[in-house]
């Protein structure tokens, strides 16, 4: 697909510095771009590459525009503008409307005529698939699933019974939505399974990464709100609520019945305990263990950065001795206080 940079400037509200008739057809990095490519600069660390780029046009901010050797699209948020341009030049593959002959469709399923059902899909009874939805190869939609318009299930996605997926949501390969939560009751030393009778409701414009799992609710539904973004290999427990436009990076684990607010950013490998509340506008850096609720917006960290092995062992040894040192310090404080009391009595 080829588009003029003048059209891109008008469409995305950029200031164009250069020939509006220049045509581009792909996006690329500053280092790899050629005369048909769009590149961008959002991080000052890449300013050095800007002077040598061969890109047809570079998306950047006003501060970087003077250093650009080619045409420039000046934007307040270069990264976001570049993302929108990339979506125009590299649209998602389109599936022609219709049902592949190898798909299995149970009676009572409602498939919009404009939807695409790929090879080896299984569609259960009472399923509703909206307009222009793309159900990729080997997807499984169990009974009662509802998929909104323009949803894209890339491949091998499993939607368990009664799961609801909002419009324009994208779910990457291998994701499992609506499997049973980890619900068991103790009974004389044995575990008794608690039926998981809730479901999962996913809002519009959500993205869920590859091999991520979202458990169905035990009684009420697990809820992923509008615009949330979940990376690959994330575990979301039953009855969790993730607020609108919150983003979770890879390998995050969220235990059951925890509520995460809006516009939060959760770093990779963060572990969040169960039955907690995290308010809106919280950032939690990677590898942090969250063991209590967060009631104030801000940035929170809990992981210890790596060190050389011998230094790490020494630090761990000191950490283990902290309790003994604390006990000794308290004893010294008590002795000091007693001695001070005796001196005051003598006076």
Known catalytic residues?
A: 238
Q: What does the block give as tokens for 121? A: 């899909």
**Residues with Cβ < 8 Å from 228, sequence gap 6 or more?**
203, 206, 207, 242, 243, 244, 245, 246, 247, 248
Using CA atoms, how far residue 137 sits from 156, 172, 293, in Å, is 6, 12, 41
Closest C-alpha to 257, from 243, 277, 271: 277
Can you say whether the dihedral through the CA atoms of 174, 180, 183, 189 is positive or negative? negative
For 84, 114, 116, 163, 240, the CA distances from 143, given in Å and listed in that order, are 36, 21, 19, 9, 23
Give the largest CA-CA distance in the chain.
101
Transcribe 41-71 into DSSP letters: --SGGGHHHHTT---SEEEE-HHHHTT-SSE
d(CA 269, CA 232): 11
| C-alpha span between 200 and 241 (Å, rounded) | 10
Burial of 12 (0-12, 13-18, 19+ CB in 10 A): middle
């Amino acid at each position: 697909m080829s588009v003029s940079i003048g059209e891109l400037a008008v469409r995305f509200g950029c200031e164009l510095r250069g020939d509006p008739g220049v045509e581009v057809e792909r996006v690329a990095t500053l280092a790899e771009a050629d005369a048909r490519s769009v590149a961008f600069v959002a991080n000052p660390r890449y300013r050095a590459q800007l002077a040598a780029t061969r890109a047809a046009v570079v998306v950047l901010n006003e501060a970087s525009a003077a250093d650009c050797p080619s045409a420039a699209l000046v934007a307040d948020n270069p990264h976001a503008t570049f993302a929108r341009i990339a979506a125009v030049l590299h649209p998602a593959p389109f599936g022609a409307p219709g049902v592949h002959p190898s798909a299995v469709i149970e009676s009572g399923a409602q498939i919009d005529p404009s939807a695409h059902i790929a090879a080896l899909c299984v569609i259960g009874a009472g399923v509703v698939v909206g307009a222009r939805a793309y159900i990729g190869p080997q997807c499984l939609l169990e009974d009662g699933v509802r998929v909104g318009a323009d949803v894209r299930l890339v491949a091998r996605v499993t939607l368990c019974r009664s799961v609801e997926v909002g419009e324009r949501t994208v779910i990457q390969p291998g994701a499992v939505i609506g499997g049973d939560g980890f619900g068991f009751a103790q009974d004389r030393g044995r575990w008794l399974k608690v039926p998981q009778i809730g479901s999962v409701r996913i809002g519009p414009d959500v993205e869920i990464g590859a091999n991520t799992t979202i458990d169905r609710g035990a009684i009420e539904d697990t809820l992923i709100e509008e615009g949330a973004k979940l990376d690959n290999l994330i575990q979301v427990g039953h009855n969790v609520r993730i607020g609108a436009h919150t983003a979770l990076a890879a390998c995050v684990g969220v235990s059951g019945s925890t509520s995460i607010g809006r516009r939060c950013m959760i770093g990779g490998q963060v572990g969040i305990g169960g039955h907690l509340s995290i308010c809106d506008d919280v950032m939690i850096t990677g590898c942090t263990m969250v063991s209590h609720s967060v009631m104030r917006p801000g940035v929170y960290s809990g992981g210890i950065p790596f060190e050389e092995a011998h230094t790490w062992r020494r630090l761990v040894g000191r950490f283990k001795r902290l309790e003994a040192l604390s006990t000794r310090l308290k004893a010294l404080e008590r002795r000091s206080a007693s001695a001070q009391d005796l001196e005051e009595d003598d006076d």
